[in-house]
Amino acid sequence: MGARLFKRGLESVSSDYFGTKTPAFGLRLAERAETYAGSTLRKGHVIVVVDGVPVDNLEANYLLVGFKCERGKPVRITFWDGAAYREWDGLLPLRRIGVCFEGL
């Protein structure tokens, strides 16, 4: 099951992992985030890493955000904004981003 959810493994990566190429995997935001992340995460951005772990699918994202991110502790999200990879550090109420996703 782990290999199916985390196709690139659980090793920690940084935004340098992707270089400057458009992401080949990740979760595209279908709308602006409704949490504190909303000030940064907007429709069309692609989340590729949560707390250092690449996310290929919705299930992996839910597991990482729900279990890896402890309440009251900031989470780091690496995303593609259409021009470059960026990182956002912040708190997620109820450990949820609060947005619908669409496929790449």
What CA–CA distance (Å, rounded) separates 70 from 20? 31
pLDDT over 50 at 103, yes or no: yes
pLDDT (0 to 100) of residue 95: 61
* CA proximity to 49, closest of 1, 85, 93: 85
pLDDT in tens, 74-84: 788 899 999 99
Q: How far is CA 88 from CA 38, 50, 77, 97, in A?
A: 10, 10, 5, 12
pTM: 0.77
* Closest residue by Cα to residue 87 from 43, 44, 41: 41
